[in-house]
């Protein structure tokens, strides 16, 4: 499989990244190199193989429903690039 | 024989502290002094915590003066890779996007070591978000290999390995997603262990690929490795993937010999791509294990060649999601010129992440995207099953598997920087272990072209004790771990 | 002609669960704290933090599933739904994609006296997002927005119905029933005004005889039952007009604009969403065994349908009464508590369905906030039964109780509203009325029995409603007979 420049642009949009024309060319080329290498996987018939999502056979890791106070407002916002009235401030949405 | 304080191992230093031949303050000063002499060339650190370290050392000395018992890692200067959160201390992941991030919490490992009395001297350089095999992907500056400053220390825990190799820390912690502890340990001639997935809590470890990440010790010898592992291992209720399996007494494992132990030698790890001299060193090491009574046998892990492509789909896919939170809203870098949200997102992320990160985010986003999920992500998860099954079957016969850690010794800085695929190939022998969630250790087994070669020992799940047992027997019967880089000091 | 069209509606109901702590961290779920005070590194999506699931959330999901007749899935897991929005701290929502906690189920609704079964497709667990406050009248004009993450990580259940509803009334009845069941099982308080019950609708139309579904639109932002019904009605009309004018319906998401009374397209500048769902590697699968399910089943309370049947069987209530009283758990509980103080169920039911609901509605109050306690309503009914006050006066007294919170006896006493049962006093009034109304008196005497009603009315009027009407009637007929 190979990826087109247009698809690379679409993927960049999904990932909230932006590239210059030249970068787009480069990323398309490098991604195609890498994806070409991934094609190796198609040598394997995996139709009867189960997927491994977790290597450990652990289920039902659950905590009790107890609440506790953790951060005060000032600490919560300490790393915020922009803030106002105890909240995180973001630029115009639409 | 170490003639300097900073040249001591942790257990040697512990003995001296215990016998009052040395104070924690002296130990810390010695390491800080060493850093000041080597750091301008090695560049292992991103943040130095000299004052805090000396304060902590003083507290330890006071405790000891008050007649309290000395705990194993108490008073020993160490450092953490900068992807482990430290409360009130900048934690950057070597990324511009987190250049100013100060966590209000500690990673579980940081908490455990802090409580064990460890003296944190600084935060270590790394590949940005642990993605890389040479440390050239640090957003700030690359680390240099103490054995040859022109060469890469390996990655992504390059700072962790270079600091230990140059005596800039007695031990360090690194993280290993596809070989990021073992490969730099191999390149820098130190001991590096990747524990079983779930053995060490990931809470507070800034995620690269959550199903593969694991924190591990980087040390000067195997005993130190056993000590540090014992201090950081164990169940953590803050990490749902942390295993509720008892922690063995790892030091105890060191007392056993390896007579009759069954060792598998996977032929796929000795095929194309393996440097001839490295191969010779590994085979020498195998011979040594046989001399020590182990039964070594060639065997096969047939799906080895598929591990790398599977990994480079799975890890980027998880990473693309793990890195979505860096959006300029709650912490870290934001492009403040952007006037609307979508522009702010795109510019923040495009300026905040380096090229390799963007490449992996793109690859991972693509692998998960509609229409490609089955062909890429799901396929890779199935191949992961096959790789794991290879090991499951092998461990029915063998106690441990021995192989090279990396196909070559440390390459030159810049040598692979423009060729991602050839960079990825340097993780060829370490990646299968992460896919299968197994423990593995890299220990020095000699030099090639004056550079260290690493021997990798792979074990059964939660059988870190067996790795340490084999590693210790090898180490104690060979001189390799005593070799030090001839780093000129200022 | 619009009667050639059939409306097809499916609902996605989101409900916040009444747990103490959030779904993946131990922050409080309490509503209405100062912004960003019920937060921690986990629900702020800080680097390196990890989720650990709250057992109570799974318990509640199973409970709701059982109450909605769903299949509980033995193996289920959490997935990440990836998208960017400032209220979403991790850049993904933790939800359940292909293996949710509950599979197919159903519930029965009553519309126009008919019972109809609505299918439930699935129920899944997920974390709620934070809240955006726009600095400006509406989002489109806001120069910036402020984010509060107190709500981020509050547990949600999403209940997805089959497209089985055929009218806005059915949709509203379905939502009422889901709300009742969630309240009965005490998994949610379902306060639409606080956002703990939210609803999106998928709606389409098709020719009456068609089996294939038409193109649907998804409606959001309906914050009350009225809004749901109005938005659906608007959208049905819009679809029909579009199609009958030769146009086509565009598949899109639309938002209900309450002030304009219309739906507006939410088409964004961005291309179609691609959520890139994949299993969350930070969370392990859930395996729900029979034992777990049984323990939850044993904790299930009486549900609306059972309770309705009980009211019909035990108290001989008409189906209509039982349906209304059990439509909300609070109301049904109110009814039951009244029974502790007064034994005539039908009289209680009449008062609840009449005066109580009327006053609650007029004053925009919930049953839980009703100023008249069941015990006090019971006392009022006793006063009527004993003849202390008339039914008519009782309505006045009840309004006063509702407004002031005082009890019935107090009001009756203060305002001197006791019925006049003193024959001496009544005698005097009756004499006056007989003297003042010779015509009706002679009518009665000549055999026109109904004329006594007029005379009783006059006596009641003269006594300002306080005379005991039975007594008046008896005394009048004795006197004139």
- B81 annotated active-site: yes
Residue B1 — pLDDT band, cuts 50, 70, 90? Answer: very low
Q: How many domains is chain B built from?
A: 1
Sequence-ordered alpha helix ranges (H) in C45-88: 55-67
What's the rounded Cα separation, in Å, for the pair B456 and B405? Answer: 5
What's the rounded Cα separation, in Å, for the pair C191 and C179? Answer: 9
| pLDDT top residue among C165 and C445 | C165
Residue C47 — pLDDT band, cuts 50, 70, 90? Answer: very high
Give the model's pLDDT for residue C416: 76
Whether chain A has a CB inside 8 Å of the CB on C293: the answer is no
Which tokens sit at C268?
């964004």
Lateral strand order in the sheet of A87-91? A83-84, A87-91, C144-148, C131-134
C 31-90 → A contacts, CB under 8 A: 34-37, 39-41, 44, 52-58, 77, 84, 86
Give the Cβ contact number of residue A36 at 10 Å: 12
Give the model's pLDDT for residue B490: 58
What's the rounded Cα separation, in Å, for the pair C377 and C398? Answer: 8
Mean pLDDT of C94-117: 95
* Cβ–Cβ below 8 Å for C82 and B368: yes
> Which positions ≥6 away from A57 have C-beta within 8 Å?
none
Q: What is the ipTM of this complex?
A: 0.97
Residues from chain A contacting residue C25 (CB–CB below 8 Å): 70
- The CATH number of the domain where B103 resides is what? 3.90.1300.10
Which tokens sit at C7?
């409306």
Give the Cβ contact number of residue C259 at 10 Å: 6
Backbone φ and ψ for B450, nearest 5 degrees, come out as: 75, 5
Q: What percent of chain C has pLDDT over 90?
A: 68
CB neighbour class for B129 (10 Å; exposed up to 12, middle 13-18, buried from 19)? buried
What's the rounded Cα separation, in Å, for the pair C424 and C422? Answer: 6
Q: Which of B180, B186, B248, B442 is catalytic?
A: B180
B338-385 residue pLDDT tens? 999 999 999 999 999 999 999 999 999 999 998 899 999 999 999 999
Which tokens sit at B324?
């979505």
Å from A49 to nearest chain C CA? 17
pLDDT at C268 over 70: no
Give the model's pLDDT for residue B98: 98
What's the rounded Cα separation, in Å, for the pair C387 and C395? Answer: 14
pLDDT at C38 over 60: yes
Domain contains B256? yes
CB neighbour class for B62 (10 Å; exposed up to 12, middle 13-18, buried from 19)? exposed
Residue with tokens 């056979």: A57
- B40 annotated active-site: no
Domain contains B461? no
B432-463 residue pLDDT tens? 999 999 999 999 999 999 999 999 999 999 99
Mean pLDDT of C335-341: 94
Whether chain B has a CB inside 8 Å of the CB on C391: the answer is no
* Cβ–Cβ below 8 Å for A88 and C149: yes
pTM for the model = 0.91
Whether chain C has a CB inside 8 Å of the CB on A68: the answer is yes
A 50-89 → B contacts, CB under 8 A: 50-56, 58, 61, 63, 71, 75-76, 78-82, 88
Whether chain C has a CB inside 8 Å of the CB on A15: the answer is no
> Which positions ≥6 away from C35 have C-beta within 8 Å?
A73, A85, A86, A87, C146, C148, C150
Angle (CA) C129-C134-C137 rounded to 5° is 135
Domain contains B431? no
What's the rounded Cα separation, in Å, for the pair B41 and B45? Answer: 11
What's the rounded Cα separation, in Å, for the pair C331 and C321? Answer: 12
Q: Measure Cα distances from B313 to A17, B454, C91 in Å.
A: 19, 27, 20
Backbone φ and ψ for C214, nearest 5 degrees, come out as: -80, 175
Q: Measure Cα distances from C259 to A44, B73, C172, C346, C366 in Å.
A: 60, 67, 20, 41, 24
pLDDT at B271 over 80: yes
What's the rounded Cα separation, in Å, for the pair B272 and C115? Answer: 73
> Which positions ≥6 away from C88 have C-beta within 8 Å?
C129, C130, C152
Q: Measure Cα distances from B447 to B186, B225, B258 in Å.
A: 10, 21, 24
* Cβ–Cβ below 8 Å for C45 and B325: yes
| pLDDT top residue among B74 and B426 | B74
Type and span of the H or E element at C199? strand C197-207
Residue B372 and residue C277 in contact, taking contact as beta carbons nearer than 8 Å: no
Residue C367 and residue C330 in contact, taking contact as beta carbons nearer than 8 Å: yes
CB neighbour class for C291 (10 Å; exposed up to 12, middle 13-18, buried from 19)? exposed
Residues from chain C contacting residue A68 (CB–CB below 8 Å): 21, 26-27
C130-161 residue pLDDT tens? 999 987 766 677 789 999 999 999 999 999 99
CA Rg value for chain B: 21
Type and span of the H or E element at B219? strand B215-219
Give the model's pLDDT for residue C440: 87
* Domains in chain C: boundaries: 5-292, 304-415, 423-480
Give the model's pLDDT for residue C446: 85
Give the model's pLDDT for residue C278: 97
Domain contains B9? yes
What's the rounded Cα separation, in Å, for the pair B369 and C264? Answer: 29
* Cβ–Cβ below 8 Å for C139 and A64: no
Mean pLDDT of chain C: 91
CB neighbour class for C372 (10 Å; exposed up to 12, middle 13-18, buried from 19)? buried
pLDDT at C392 over 90: no
Q: A54: nearest CA in chain B?
A: B211
Mean pLDDT of C94-121: 96
What's the rounded Cα separation, in Å, for the pair B314 and C77? Answer: 19
B43-99 residue pLDDT tens? 999 999 999 999 999 999 999 999 999 999 999 999 999 999 999 999 999 999 999
Mean pLDDT of C422-427: 79
pLDDT at B489 over 70: no
Q: Which of B81, B194, B220, B416 is catalytic?
A: B81
What's the rounded Cα separation, in Å, for the pair C469 and C481? Answer: 18
Residue B307 and residue C78 in contact, taking contact as beta carbons nearer than 8 Å: no
Give the model's pLDDT for residue C266: 84
Residue C272 — pLDDT band, cuts 50, 70, 90? Answer: low
A 11-40 → B contacts, CB under 8 A: 11-12, 14-19, 27, 30-31, 33-35, 37-38, 40
Residue C285 and residue C77 in contact, taking contact as beta carbons nearer than 8 Å: yes
* Cβ–Cβ below 8 Å for C283 and B240: yes
- B156 annotated active-site: yes
Report the neighbours of A using a cutoff of 3 or more CB pairs below 8 angstroms. B, C
Least confident of B171-185, B213-227, C18-32, C464-478: C464-478
Mean pLDDT of B16-45: 97
Residue B454 and residue B471 in contact, taking contact as beta carbons nearer than 8 Å: no
Domain contains B245? yes
Å from A94 to nearest chain B CA? 7
What's the rounded Cα separation, in Å, for the pair B85 and C425? Answer: 89
Nearest to A80 among B330, B340, B381 (CB): B330
Give the model's pLDDT for residue B30: 98
Type and span of the H or E element at C204? strand C197-207
Residue A69 — pLDDT band, cuts 50, 70, 90? Answer: confident
Give the model's pLDDT for residue C419: 73
Bridge partners of residue C9, in order along the sequence: C165, C203
Give the model's pLDDT for residue B15: 97
Residue B333 and residue A59 in contact, taking contact as beta carbons nearer than 8 Å: no
Type and span of the H or E element at C324? helix C319-325
What's the rounded Cα separation, in Å, for the pair A78 and B101? Answer: 9
Write a three-state SS string for B150-163.
Answer: CECCCCCCHHHHHH
Q: Measure Cα distances from B329 to A90, B207, B228 in Å.
A: 7, 19, 37
Whether chain B has a CB inside 8 Å of the CB on C438: the answer is no
C423-480 placed in CATH 1.10.10.410: yes
Domain contains B323? no
Mean pLDDT of C382-388: 86
Whether chain B has a CB inside 8 Å of the CB on A94: the answer is yes
What is the separation, in whole angstroms, between the first and last Cα of chain A?
36
Range of the domain at B96: 5-261
Give the model's pLDDT for residue C364: 85
Sequence-ordered alpha helix ranges (H) in C52-98: 55-67
Strands B45-48 and C53-54 come out as: unpaired
What is the separation, in whole angstroms, between the first and last Cα of chain C?
67
Give the model's pLDDT for residue C269: 46
Nearest to C285 among A10, A59, A86 (CB): A59
Domain contains B136? yes
Residues from chain A contacting residue B328 (CB–CB below 8 Å): 81
What's the rounded Cα separation, in Å, for the pair B192 and B174? Answer: 8
Give the model's pLDDT for residue B3: 75
Domain contains B420? no
Q: What percent of chain B has pLDDT over 90?
A: 95
Residues from chain C contacting residue B324 (CB–CB below 8 Å): 82, 84, 90-92
Residues from chain C contacting residue B204 (CB–CB below 8 Å): 48-49
Nearest to C82 among B324, B326, B329 (CB): B324
Residue B429 and residue B157 in contact, taking contact as beta carbons nearer than 8 Å: no
Whether chain A has a CB inside 8 Å of the CB on C201: the answer is no
Nearest to C84 among B91, B98, B345 (CB): B345
Which tokens sit at C341?
């103080």
Mean pLDDT of C102-116: 94
Residues from chain B contacting residue C92 (CB–CB below 8 Å): 321, 324
Mean pLDDT of A1-5: 86
Mean pLDDT of chain B: 96
Strand extents, DSSP E, C60-166: 75-76, 79-82, 92-95, 105-111, 114-127, 131-134, 144-148, 155-161
User: DSSP characters for B439-466?
Assistant: -EEEEEEEEETTEEEEEEEEE-TT-HHH
C161-184 residue pLDDT tens? 999 999 999 999 999 999 999 999
């Amino acid at each position: 499989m190979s990826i087109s420049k247009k698809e690379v642009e679409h993927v960049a949009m999904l990932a909230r990244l932006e590239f210059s024309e030249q970068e787009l060319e480069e990323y398309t080329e490098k991604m195609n190199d890498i994806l070409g290498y991934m094609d190796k996987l198609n040598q394997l018939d995996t139709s009867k193989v189960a997927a491994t999502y977790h290597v450990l056979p652990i289920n039902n890791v659950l905590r009790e429903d107890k609440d506790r106070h953790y951060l005060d407002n000032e600490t919560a916002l300490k790393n915020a690039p922009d803030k106002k009235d105890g909240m995180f401030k973001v630029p115009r949405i639409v | 024989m170490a003639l300097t304080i900073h040249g001591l191992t942790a257990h040697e230093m512990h003995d001296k502290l215990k016998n009052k031949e040395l104070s924690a303050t002296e130990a810390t000063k010695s390491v800080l002094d060493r850093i000041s002499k080597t750091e301008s060339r090695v560049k292992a650190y991103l943040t130095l915590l000299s004052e805090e370290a000396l304060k902590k050392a003083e507290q330890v000395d006071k405790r000891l003066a008050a007649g309290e018992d000395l705990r194993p890692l108490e008073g020993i200067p160490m450092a953490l890779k900068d992807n482990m959160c430290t409360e009130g201390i900048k934690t950057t992941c070597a990324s511009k996007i987190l250049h100013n991030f100060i966590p209000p919490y500690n990673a579980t490992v940081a908490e455990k070591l802090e409580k064990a009395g460890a003296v944190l001297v600084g935060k270590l350089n790394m590949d940005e978000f642990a993605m890389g095999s040479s440390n050239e992907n640090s957003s700030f500056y690359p680390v240099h290999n103490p054995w040859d400053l022109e060469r890469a220390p390996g990655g992504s825990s390059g700072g962790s390995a270079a600091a230990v190799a140059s005596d800039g820390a007695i031990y360090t912690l690194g993280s290993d997603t596809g070989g990021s502890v073992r490969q730099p340990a191999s390149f820098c001639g130190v001991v590096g262990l990747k524990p079983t997935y779930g053995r060490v809590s990931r809470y507070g470890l800034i995620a690269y690929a959550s199903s593969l990440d694991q924190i591990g010790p980087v040390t000067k010898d195997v005993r130190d490795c056993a000590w540090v592992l014992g201090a950081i291992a164990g169940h953590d209720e803050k990490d749902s993937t942390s295993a509720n399996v008892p922690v063995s007494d790892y030091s105890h494992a060191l007392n056993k010999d390896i007579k009759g132990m069954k060792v598998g030698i996977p032929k796929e790890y000795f095929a194309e791509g393996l440097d001839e001299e490295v191969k010779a060193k590994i085979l020498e090491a195998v011979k040594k294990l046989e001399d020590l009574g182990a039964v070594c046998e060639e065997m096969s892990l047939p799906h080895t060649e598929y591990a790398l492509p599977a990994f480079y789909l799975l890890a980027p896919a998880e990473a693309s999601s793990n890195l979505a939170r860096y959006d300029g809203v709650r912490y870290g870098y934001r492009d403040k010129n952007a006037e609307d949200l979508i522009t702010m997102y795109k510019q923040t992320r495009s300026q905040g992440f380096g090229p390799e990160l963007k490449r992996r985010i793109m690859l991972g986003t693509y692998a998960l995207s509609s229409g490609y999920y089955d062909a890429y992500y799901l396929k890779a998860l199935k191949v992961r099953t096959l790789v794991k099954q290879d090991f499951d079957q092998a461990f029915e016969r063998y106690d441990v598997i021995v192989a090279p850690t990396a196909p070559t010794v440390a390459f030159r800085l810049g040598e692979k920087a423009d060729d991602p695929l050839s960079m990825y190939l340097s993780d060829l022998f370490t990646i299968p272990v992460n896919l299968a969630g197994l423990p593995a250790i890299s220990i020095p087994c000699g030099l090639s072209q004056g550079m260290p070669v690493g021997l990798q020992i792979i074990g059964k799940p939660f059988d870190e004790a067996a790795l340490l047992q084999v590693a210790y027997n090898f180490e104690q019967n060979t001189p390799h771990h005593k070799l030090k880089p001839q780093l000129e000091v200022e | 002609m619009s009667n050639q069209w059939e409306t097809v509606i499916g609902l996605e109901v989101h409900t916040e669960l009444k747990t103490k702590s959030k779904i993946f961290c131990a922050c409080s779920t309490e509503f209405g704290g100062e912004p960003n005070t019920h937060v921690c590194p986990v629900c702020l999506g800080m680097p390196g933090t990890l989720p650990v699931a709250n057992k109570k959330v799974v318990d509640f999901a199973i409970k709701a599933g059982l109450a909605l007749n769903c299949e509980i899935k033995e193996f289920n897991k959490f997935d990440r739904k990836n998208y960017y929005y400032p209220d979403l701290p991790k850049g993904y929502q933790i939800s359940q994609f292909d293996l949710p906690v509950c599979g197919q189920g159903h519930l029965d609704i009553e519309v126009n006296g008919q019972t109809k079964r609505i299918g439930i497709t699935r129920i899944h667990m997920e974390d709620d997002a934070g809240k955006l406050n726009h600095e400006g009248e509406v989002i489109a004009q806001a120069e910036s927005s402020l984010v509060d993450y107190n709500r981020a990580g509050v547990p949600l259940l999403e209940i997805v119905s089959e497209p089985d509803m055929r009218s806005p009334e059915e949709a509203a009845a379905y939502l009422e029933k889901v709300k009742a069941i969630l309240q009965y099982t005490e998994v949610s308080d379902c306060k639409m005004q606080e956002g703990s019950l939210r609803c999106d609708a998928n709606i389409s139309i098709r020719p009456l005889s068609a089996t294939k579904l038409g193109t649907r639109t998804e409606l959001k932002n309906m914050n009350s039952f009225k809004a749901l019904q109005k938005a659906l009605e608007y959208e049905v009309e819009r679809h029909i007009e579009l199609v009958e004018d030769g146009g086509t319906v565009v598949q899109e998401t639309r938002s209900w604009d309450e002030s304009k009374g219309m739906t507006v397209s939410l088409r964004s500048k961005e291309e179609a969403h691609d959520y890139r769902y994949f299993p969350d590697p930070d969370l392990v699968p859930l395996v729900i065994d029979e034992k777990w399910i049984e323990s939850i089943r044993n904790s299930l309370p009486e549900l609306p349908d059972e309770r309705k049947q009980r009211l019909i069987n035990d108290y001989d209530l008409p189906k209509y009464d039982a349906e209304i009283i059990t439509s909300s758990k609070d109301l049904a509980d109110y009814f039951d508590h009244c029974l502790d103080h007064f034994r005539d169920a039908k009289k209680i039911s009449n008062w609840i369905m009449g005066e109580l609901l009327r006053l609650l509605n007029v004053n925009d109050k919930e049953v839980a906030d009703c100023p008249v306690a069941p015990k006090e309503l019971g006392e009022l009914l006793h006063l009527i039964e004993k003849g202390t006050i008339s039914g008519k006066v009782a309505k006045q007294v009840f309004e006063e109780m509702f407004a002031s919170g005082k009890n019935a006896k107090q009001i009756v006493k203060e305002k001197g509203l006791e019925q006049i049962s003193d024959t001496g006093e009544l005698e005097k009034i009756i004499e006056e009325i007989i003297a003042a109304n010779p015509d009706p008196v002679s009518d009665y005497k000549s055999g026109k029995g109904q004329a006594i009603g007029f005379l009783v009315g006059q006596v009641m009027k003269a006594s300002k409603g306080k005379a005991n009407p039975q007594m008046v009637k008896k005394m009048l007929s004795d006197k004139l007979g």
